A and B are shown apart, each in its own frame.
Chain A
Amino acid sequence: MRPGSTRAACLALLRRDLLLVWRRRGDTLTPLLFALIVVALFPLAIGAQMETLRPIAVGVVFVATLLAGLLALDSLFRGDYEDGSLEQLVVSPHPLALLLACKIAVHWLTTALPLIALSPLLGELLFLDPALRGLLPLALALTTPLLSLIGAVCVALTVGMQRSGMLLALLVLPLYVPVLIFGAGACNAAQMGLPYLAPLLWLAAGLVLALVLAPLACAAALRISTS
């Protein structure tokens, strides 16, 4: 592999971002603890009875995961923007969209994947229907990359602004609504014994679309943000 080739650049970027996460590995726990606390608040607020918690379990886990992901989203390009690394990516001789896709992949791996791994425990806290134990992580595995990709475009648009956290939430959450409806809808349908494959396929189709388009949109938005 030739140094300076696009493949070498992507590998170097993946390596660097993973190394950065490892150097600040304590930070990756924050979204996990946040999701855990949000889920734990529900039994405290509405009582710990199985008949009240089980119907809302799927929805609460989804919303908690979504909010925890939103919490981690701002850090996606912020550090690179502030220390000038982003400029280096923009002026590098490689497709910016591809480099950003690598960054989004690392971000998903280190923030969303732990949440998916935690989701059975979150479900257990809310008496999740045992029939959904397998489906919930699967639905999350389709939902969270889509959330990361959509979120990345919004982060790219707001990274040039100071204290953009609230604006980012206002921008991102409406776009998350359809993803949430399909993801939680699949689980709810399964809980009621209805066919649940269609919403999952819609999510998969959306994910394929976002995988192609979101990095391109991110690159365009970041070029505006760095100018």
Chain B
Amino acid sequence: MPESRFHERPALLQARGLAFARNEEPIFGPLDFALHAGEVVLMEGDNGAGKTTLLRVLAGLIAPSQGEIFLNGEPLTLARLSPQLALLSHQGGLKHDLTALENLRFAAGLHGQRRGLSPVSALAAVGLDGFGEVPVRQLSAGQKKRVALARVLLAPVGLWLLDEPYANLDRSGIELVNRLLERHAHEGGAALITSHGAYAYTSGTPRRIALRPDPAGTESQGDTIVENTR
């Protein structure tokens, strides 16, 4: 645990020797990394490098083939994780027949809402003021992504797992994501985000982990490639 020397508390999320293989074919890993409160980690990798799979493993949706995940120093279970987790997946998890606000009201009912935020103000925070009554079906792909980000923002949780939060977003949207991530980290939250690297990453990210397809599947990836810019 090289990272934990600098932190007194156990890492919010820690992976040790984490690997996943589907039908004997290695998808990623073995990986070692830690995510602490107040930290944003960018997971980079080409298409098919296993970013989404890794995120789903960390979200407790898939069991890893090897290795362990710890949440605040204890083995990860969905019951321990779910009250702390906001997950943004590829599909977005929005109902296209409902309006943006109806979607956020449902999310607030399901996950609760952050102190000082409401579905209306969360929508305003992602730059969709005035789009509340528009069915999600009629929004553009970038606007849908913003609604999904508003859902993440609204959840009263410390850990964000965001799969390709920059996809489909325009320049101001990318800045918005960076701003939201910075504020989340500043407030003591942590985020693990994935990107295939096509978007210039301007500010705010202290650490990067590169995921590369590793046919041998033996070399440990995470720690060797992590560059700590702090």
Contact = CB atoms under 8 A, between A and B. Distances in A.
A88 to B, nearest CB: 4
A168 to B, nearest CB: 22
A84 B91 contact: yes
State which size class the interface on B falls in: 20 to 34
Interface in B111-132: 111-113
B83 A91 contact: no
Interface string B53-95: 0001001111100000000000000110111010101111111
B170 to A, nearest CB: 22
Nearest to A22: B97
Given A16-B106, A91-B78, A91-B87, A85 B62 contact: no
The DSSP consensus for interface residues of chain A is: helix
A13 interface: yes
State which size class the interface on A falls in: 20 to 34
A15 to B, nearest CB: 7
Nearest to A83: B91
B2 interface: no
Interface string B94-109: 1111100010011111
Contacts of A92: 82, 110-111
Contacts of B83: 93
A162 interface: no
A91 B91 contact: no
10 contacts: A4-B113, A4-B156, A12-B108, A12-B110, A15-B106, A19-B98, A20-B97, A83-B96, A93-B83, A227-B61
Given A15-B106, A16-B106, 7 more contacts: A4-B156, A9-B109, A84-B89, A87-B91, A88-B93, A91-B81, A94-B110
Interface of B: 56, 59-63, 78-79, 81-83, 85, 87, 89-98, 102, 105-113, 156
